[in-house]
């Protein structure tokens, strides 16, 4: 699993807590909101609304 998040996002923080409580191992990839990376076409392919955080599952 891959978690796309931003370290200062409270929503992403809550997702990271839930993942830790479940004992899951995920790869984290930062999406820098202040630089507008959430509007990048590559990221929008994964999250059409550009929402952070986004969790990409192993099965797609």
pLDDT digits (tens, 9 = 90+) for 24-52: 999 999 999 999 999 999 999 999 999 99
Assign 48 to helix, strand or coil: coil
Mean pLDDT over 16-26 rounds to 97
What is the count of structural domains for the chain? 1
Looking at residue 10, which CATH number applies to its domain? Answer: 3.40.30.10
The whole-number pLDDT of residue 51 equals 95
**Average of per-residue pLDDT values in the chain:** 96
Query: Containing domain of residue 14, as a range?
Result: 2-56
Residue 60 confidence (pLDDT) above 80: no
* This prediction's pTM: 0.88
Give all strands of the β-sheet with 27-30 in edge-to-edge order.
Answer: 27-30, 2-5, 54-56
Q: Are strands 2-5 and 54-56 parallel, antiparallel or unpaired?
A: antiparallel
Contact indicator for 60, 12 with CB cutoff of 8 Å:
no
Alpha helices per DSSP H over 4-54: 10-22, 41-46
The whole-number pLDDT of residue 20 equals 98
The whole-number pLDDT of residue 9 equals 95
């Amino acid at each position: 699993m891959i978690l796309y998040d931003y370290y200062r996002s409270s929503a992403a923080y809550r997702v990271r807590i839930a993942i830790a409580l479940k004992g899951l191992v995920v790869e984290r990839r930062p999406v820098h909101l202040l630089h507008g990376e959430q509007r990048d076409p590559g990221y929008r392919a994964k999250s059409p609304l550009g929402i952070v955080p986004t969790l990409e599952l192993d099965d797609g």
